[in-house]
Structure 1
Amino acid sequence: MLRSRRNLALACALSALAGYVDGAGFLHLGGLFVSFMSGNSTRLGVSLAEGHWTGASEAVGLILLFVVGAGIGGLIVHGKGRYRQCWVLLAEATLLAAAGLAYLFGVPWLAVIAMVLAMGLENAVFQVDGGPGIGLTYMTGALVKVGQLAAAALTGGPRWAWLPNLLLWASLVTGAAAGAFAYSEISLAAVWFAAAAALLLAAIAVISVRRTHP
């Protein structure tokens, strides 16, 4: 799925976008994540062990919202239309814009909800025929593939098969740094840049589909 340059470029752009939103969300939530649910799951376990019920409930809420967002994304791509990827990106842009509006009107908790839903939904961009697609908002699987494919390269396998997954990881880290910097300057208003980026990617996807299937 990442073999074409078009798909790899889009996946890296979306991973950077997820990192950006997560970097801002992480600082806003004081150590919880809006896209990295493995981290929130660990925080949930630790909070339960320590009896921090408020922290545990916050982690559970974020995880449930992410799952709902992923489900919404799955429903969008369930059809066979050629623009289904574009619709997912447009829905993500809409949710991120809603987050920006919520912050503008002084409802930051609603902004966080929209951000988490958007991050869950993003993972459906490459979902095909009911499969799980590509994890764009978390990189544990990508790093595992880097190690496994690097080992395969050392034993006679494809020399550069590990590189796309490394680029995904690097994109997310770069995006997270940008998101953290933006948040430090303008707080959750930083999400407007993410909404604009998602809308731009949706427009590019539409153009790409029309060129491929005129």
Structure 2
Amino acid sequence: MLPTLHHAPHSPRRQRIRVLRGRIGLGLVAGLSVLAGMTDAIGFMATGDFVSFMSGNTTRLAIAISEGDLTLVLRLTVVVMAFIVGNAAGVILGRLGGRRALPLMLAVATLLCIGAALPLASTFATLILAVIAMGMLNAVVEQVNGLPVGLTYVTGALSRFGRGLGRWILGERKDGWRVQLIPWAGMLVGAILGALLEIHLGIRALLVSALLAAILGLIALSIPPRWQMGYRLR
């Protein structure tokens, strides 16, 4: 009887697939980070509050508490809670959608469209919808080939890049730390675009964010479902 052949864990074919899966995942991360930066800049310029940067909102909340500004305390508390709800909803919707990106991205696009369509006097409601949408966005990609990534926040990415740089200077040649600049660069580019859009369109610029979310969801259709499942934590 001939022996059964098994593919080696690190066969050239599997290695090529792993590299391709990683590159496509990082490309998706770049696009999602552009969306996050764009939406955050639009929301901040239009409402004065961060849409995805909860570290900044938490610092502002602490200052408001120390100053006894109860109105701002309540506003920022609701914003932070909305972000938590968005993250939880993203995980739930992602599971219900078979861990595919399209249903989640269409939900994000819908929330942004509704927010942009609200009367200009309802900026707080628009802010909350955008915050929930950005919270949901974090569930689209959580890791690429085992490397953790953040979409709507880049402090962690810069920290991982800096620590990786330190290890590289010390002679350690571990891979992965350089790619942490991708979400940071994506958010920077997106924020520049978002600021320019807000100057010309105001809060209605969220419609552009919604369009980008839908486009990214459609692009994700070309990514094998198994790969998409691998981009999320189990």
- Aligning the two structures, in what range does the TM-score lie when normalised by the shorter sequence? 0.7 to 0.9
The 3 A distance-change label for structure 1 pair 177 and 87 is same
Out of 194, 200, 204, the position equivalent to 2:209 is 194
Equivalent AA in structure 2 for residue 68 of structure 1: V
1:96-115 mapped onto 2 (5 Å cutoff): 96-103=112-119, 107-115=122-130
The equivalent of 2:27 in structure 1 is 9
Given the alignment of the two structures, is residue 22 of structure 1 paired with residue 40 of structure 2, yes or no? yes
Give, in whole Å, the separation in 2 of the partners of 1:169 and 1:24. Answer: 17
TM-score, normalising length: structure 1 = 0.87
Give, in whole Å, the separation in 2 of the partners of 1:44 and 1:210. Answer: 40
1:35-54 mapped onto 2 (5 Å cutoff): 35-54=52-71
Give, in whole Å, the separation in 2 of the partners of 1:198 and 1:157. Answer: 38
The 3 A distance-change label for structure 1 pair 91 and 58 is same
Give, in whole Å, the separation in 1 of the partners of 2:136 and 2:119. Answer: 20
Given the alignment of the two structures, is residue 85 of structure 1 paired with residue 107 of structure 2, yes or no? no
The equivalent of 2:79 in structure 1 is 62
For structure 2, the residue ranges without an aligned partner over 5 or more in a row are 1-17, 229-234
Out of 177, 180, 185, the position equivalent to 1:165 is 180
Deviation at 1:186, TM superposition (A): 1.1
Deviation at 1:185, TM superposition (A): 1.2
Deviation at 1:51, TM superposition (A): 1.1
Deviation at 1:121, TM superposition (A): 0.3
For structure 1, the residue ranges without an aligned partner over 5 or more in a row are none
Give, in whole Å, the separation in 2 of the partners of 1:176 and 1:103. Answer: 24
Given the alignment of the two structures, is residue 141 of structure 1 paired with residue 156 of structure 2, yes or no? yes
Deviation at 1:212, TM superposition (A): 7.5
Among all aligned residue pairs of Structure 1 and Structure 2, give the percentage whose two residues are the same amino acid.
35
Deviation at 1:26, TM superposition (A): 0.8
Deviation at 1:85, TM superposition (A): 2.2
Give, in whole Å, the separation in 1 of the partners of 2:128 and 2:27. Answer: 28
Contact 2:150 2:183 in 1 (8 A): no
Equivalent AA in structure 2 for residue 178 of structure 1: L
Contact 1:103 1:188 in 2 (8 A): no
The 3 A distance-change label for structure 1 pair 13 and 80 is closer
Contact 1:103 1:189 in 2 (8 A): no
Equivalent AA in structure 2 for residue 139 of structure 1: V
Give the count of matched residue pairs: 207
The equivalent of 1:72 in structure 2 is 89
Equivalent AA in structure 1 for residue 211 of structure 2: A
Q: Alpha carbon RMSD of aligned pairs, Å?
A: 2.6
* Stretch of structure 1 that moved more, 174-183 or 156-165: 156-165
Structure whose CA Rg is larger: 2
Give, in whole Å, the separation in 1 of the partners of 2:223 and 2:175. Answer: 26
